Amino acid sequence: MVSRRVSVLLSLLFLLTVPARGQDAASPKAKPRVIIVGVNGMELDIIRPLLLKGQMPNLARVIEKGAYGKLRTVSAPNCPRVYTTLFTSTNPEEHGVTGFVVGGITANTNMLKEEPIWSMLSKSGITVGMANVPATFPVMPVNGYMISGMLTRGKNCEDGVLCAPKLSEVLGGDAVYPRTMQAELLKNVGDFYIDCERMPSAAELKGHETAVIDQWLAKVQVIRDQQTKLFDYLLTEHPTDFTFLAQSCEDRAGHWLYPITPFNVGYNPSINSVRQDAFPNQYVAFDKVLGIVLKHVDASTYLFILSDHGIKPLREFEEKDPHAHMDHEKTTPVIAKHDFADGDDVPGSLFAMGPGIKNDFRLMGLGASVYDIAPTILHIYGIDQPRQMHGHVLTEIFGSSENKVAAQK
């Protein structure tokens, strides 16, 4: 286990010893380039019909050129819990981020009890760039930059839970590392929202359902456009060996706008018959974000699109569920969720392409899990898997043993 203090010390140490990019001309080893795009709560039940209808052409391209399938998640999955498992390949009880709130406090990076992958990569001299990734607030030092995501606290988002503070209004910690980058982002990208808009409460909706839904969806698109601009800016102006970007509006929309039928639990025609395409449209919009990211992906780049869990209409007795969805003190009319006791009810998903990764290859079953992402990324960079990690390298997605790792020399 690595304490926060040791971790910070180690991070500072590497910053002193690793030459900055451009200063290491004497050893111009090309490092593999990896881009991860996290999509919170990506649901294959919704995505696959869209793929069949040709409404997600960019994701279809990734599937054709790569490997895809379900990604087994943890029990009672939610974003901070799963993302931190993904960062560390350890279970929630080990890494400490067991949910949105831990011991009465909003989950934050000071709670991390296991070393995250960005720290390991940074120490190995790999440049790291991260933006809008859940559970990265307050940001930690890396060999590059980090801009926090879900659970960032700020004005109108004091607890940081499922709401969207503006970059300039963040409170209680740093949202950008290095600090000097914040002014640059405000100047060149604007005062963007972090994470995604808070869901409306039942009281706000009552009597104004259509107007509130449309307003909310418009705000979500503003946020997505801002984040797309941010990603494009970062990939253009601050390219890093390892880049991890994430989107969270898809999941947020699914919770209360999943296209359910009168058969489902919680069906309210004044809400659930209004914009039945609202949730699928989130993925159509995401596909455009992916199109922008793909402009920065060449044949030597590894691209991983992954989801921490899916999302499904309500199907479980919830009275005793300690992980019941939290927003507006549970007054949002949530009709779909993911924190079911059995995580296999809502698997995440993985789409991967890059050097040596099989083409048009489908992973069947639940053989790949969120625990496998960190070991696989470390493997691509030729870094041995630390003993605490429970996952395995996803060798099954690679075509042949000599292609498993990008050229190191």
Binding residues for Zn ion (CB under 5 A): 251
Q: What backbone phi and psi angles, to 5 degrees, belong to 362? A: -110, 130
Counted residue by residue, the chain has a size of 409
Q: Among residues 146 and 161, whose Cβ is nearest to Zn ion?
A: 161
- Single-letter amino acid, residue 81: R
Q: Considering the complex, what minimum distance in angstroms separates the CB of residue 252 from Zn ion?
A: 7
Q: Among residues 71 and 352, whose Cβ is nearest to Zn ion?
A: 71
Q: How many CA atoms lie within 13 A of 404 on its CB side?
A: 14
Q: What is the dihedral of CA 65, 195, 119, 107, to 10 degrees?
A: -130
Q: Considering the complex, what minimum distance in angstroms separates the CB of residue 104 from Zn ion?
A: 21
Q: Among residues 114 and 251, whose Cβ is nearest to Zn ion?
A: 251
Distance, in Å, from the CA atom of 224 to the CA atom of 239, rounded to the nearest integer, reads 21
Pairing of strands 242-247, 33-39: parallel
Q: Among residues 98 and 240, whose Cβ is nearest to Zn ion?
A: 98
Q: Among residues 243 and 281, whose Cβ is nearest to Zn ion?
A: 281
Q: Considering the complex, what minimum distance in angstroms separates the CB of residue 119 from Zn ion?
A: 26
Strand ordering across the sheet containing 301-306 = 176-177, 144-149, 128-132, 242-247, 33-39, 301-306, 348-353, 67-71, 361-363
Q: Among residues 220 and 357, whose Cβ is nearest to Zn ion?
A: 220
Q: Considering the complex, what minimum distance in angstroms separates the CB of residue 77 from Zn ion?
A: 9
Q: Considering the complex, what minimum distance in angstroms separates the CB of residue 143 from Zn ion?
A: 31
Q: Considering the complex, what minimum distance in angstroms separates the CB of residue 255 from Zn ion?
A: 6
Residue nearest to Zn ion (CB): 251
Q: Residue 119 contacts by C-beta under 8 Å, 6 or more apart in sequence?
A: 7, 10, 11, 140, 142
